[in-house]
Each structure stands twice: as C-alpha cells, then as structure tokens.
C-alpha cells in the first residue's frame, strides 16, 4: 500500500513458512506487509495471509472493509516491547484516517484490537539516547500532528518531545576554528529557527532567525554569520523555536580550519 506498510522482523519463532501444517518451529527473519487482500508474511520463498481472523476488514462485501483510495493513510509497525504488529486501518465508507487498530501477537499468533487515546497516523522505533529503555517508540498523532512517545507511560501528552538537528565537528583531536556559518531553510509565515553553538558540549552562543520571508512570495530564507569559535569539538544544534512549528532545512555551509597554534 505504501512505505509505512512493510516490516522486516528478526527472530520470529514460527513454523516453516513453506509448510503451514508443520509442527517444526524455527527462528526466522520474516517480512510482513499490509495489502488490500490482508496481512501477508513471507520468508523469501512463499507468501501467506495471516489475517484470517480479521478478514472482514479486507472483504469488499462488508461495510467495515478498508476504504479504497486511502491506502496511503494506513500503516503497520513492529512493537518490540510486546513482540506484536500494530496496524492502522481506514475502515468504513466515511473514514479518511486510520480508525481501527488491530494487533497481531507474534508469540501466540492471535489477533486483538487496541483502543488508542490518541489515534495514530504512523509509528516507529528509534534508538534511545539514555536511561533504561533501549528503543523509544514514537507515533504521529493524526488529530494534532504531534509526535508522541508511546512507551513513556500511561499518559504521554504532558511532556513535549524536543526535535532538533545536531552536528558535531572534529578533526582527529585538532583544535578547529569555525569562522563562518550559513543556513538556508524554507520560508513560511510564522516560526523561527534557533541555532545554538557549543564548545565541547558547553554553550557558547545562539541566534534566533525568523522564518518569515524577506519579501512577499519568496520561498527560501538565508542567513550568514561570522563566527570565531575554537575548540577540539564544536557542536551546532538547530531547532524550531515554537511548539507545533515545521522547520524545513535546505542547506548548511561552514568555513572552518585547523588552528595550528594548538
């Protein structure tokens, strides 16, 4: 259906994919995909449908069948915390966003349904930066466009997730000199870009750049600054300065050199 509807899952305990009645269990890497015919699984040799228990959502004679023309809205993701596949289906003749959320348990091969407090348009797992959770689960809220952390707790709407780009500059332990910095991003009618400069993770300076175009009709905003920051490791952190504001980076340029006196 779309790029959000395919998952490769390693270490699945399953019967041999080419013999559905086999009692032999194996550890396998399987590819799961969501199609208009149901949820498919493949080990690279054969393809099987595993959604028999919820096949009414893929039956064109049923009112709850997934809606044609909204395939780009549906999604499927692997939840490693519970070893399940999570789906978002656009079900029924009037729905325009995912409104049914089936869950497939890869351990006991059973289907159930999730009742989400915030309906999701997508889900992904990313590597955690710290603490005791190795993978952070994030989801896109379809009603407000907010990114939610799904495995933070029972209530995940009170703590904002900071989104930013951070670049690290270093050169074999030599002391670098950042002389100039140029940034270009998409112009828009609201918002601002915050650029923070750090020396070895210690804050040095920051600048705030409005996203408003210089002249009406312009689509790209440009800002060039002279710098004089020297350290063995220089960090540049770029973020949006307001809640629920997009930031579309186009280009970043720098003039740097090695400070040979150190």
Provide the β-strand partners of residue 181.
225, 254
**pLDDT reported for residue 17:** 43
pLDDT digits (tens, 9 = 90+) for 86-138: 999 999 999 999 999 999 998 888 999 998 878 899 998 887 776 666 788 88
Where are any strands of DSSP class E within the chain?
A: 6-15, 25-35, 38-42, 47-49, 75-79, 84-88, 102-105, 110-113, 120-127, 135-141, 147-149, 164-169, 176-186, 192-199, 202-210, 220-231, 234-240, 249-258
Sequence ranges of the domains in the chain: 3-115, 164-258
pLDDT digits (tens, 9 = 90+) for 125-183: 887 776 666 788 889 888 777 888 887 765 555 666 677 899 999 998 999 999 999 99
- Please give the structure tokens belonging to residue 30: 């399987």
Where are any strands of DSSP class E within 211-248?
A: 220-231, 234-240
pLDDT at 22 over 80: no
Tell me the fold of 164-258. Jelly Rolls (2.60.120)
Instruction: Report percent pLDDT > 90 for the chain.
Output: 58
pLDDT at 35 over 90: yes
Q: What is the mean pLDDT of residues 201-216?
A: 92
Does the global pTM surpass 0.85? Answer: no
pLDDT at 217 over 80: yes
pLDDT at 19 over 80: no
Reported as a pLDDT band with limits 50, 70 and 90, residue 76 is very high
- Which residues, including other chains, have CB under 8 Å from residue 243's CB and lie 6 or more apart? 160
């Amino acid at each position: 259906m779309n790029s959000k509807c395919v998952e490769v899952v390693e270490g699945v305990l399953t019967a041999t994919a080419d013999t559905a009645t086999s009692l032999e269990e194996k550890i396998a890497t399987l590819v799961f995909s969501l199609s208009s015919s149901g949820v498919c699984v493949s080990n690279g040799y054969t393809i099987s449908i595993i959604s028999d228990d919820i096949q009414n959502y893929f039956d064109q004679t049923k009112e709850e069948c997934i809606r044609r023309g909204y395939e780009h809205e549906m999604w499927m993701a692997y939840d490693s915390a519970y070893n399940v596949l999570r789906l978002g289906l656009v079900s029924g003749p009037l729905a325009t966003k995912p409104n049914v959320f089936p869950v497939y348990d890869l351990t006991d091969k059973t289907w159930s349904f999730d009742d989400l407090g915030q309906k999701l348009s997508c889900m992904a797992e990313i590597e955690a930066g710290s603490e005791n959770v190795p993978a952070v689960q994030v989801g896109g809220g379809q009603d407000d466009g907010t990114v939610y952390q799904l495995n933070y707790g029972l209530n995940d709407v009170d703590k904002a997730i900071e989104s930013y780009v951070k670049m690290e500059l270093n050169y074999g332990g030599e002391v670098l000199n950042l002389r100039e910095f140029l940034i270009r991003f998409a112009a828009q009618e609201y918002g601002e870009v915050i650029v923070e400069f750090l020396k070895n993770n210690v804050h040095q300076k920051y600048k705030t750049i409005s996203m408003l175009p210089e002249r009406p009709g312009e689509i790209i905003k440009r800002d060039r600054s002279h710098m004089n920051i020297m350290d063995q490791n220089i960090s540049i952190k770029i973020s949006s300065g307001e809640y629920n504001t997009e930031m579309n980076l186009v280009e970043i340029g720098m003039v740097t050199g090695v400070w040979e006196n150190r």
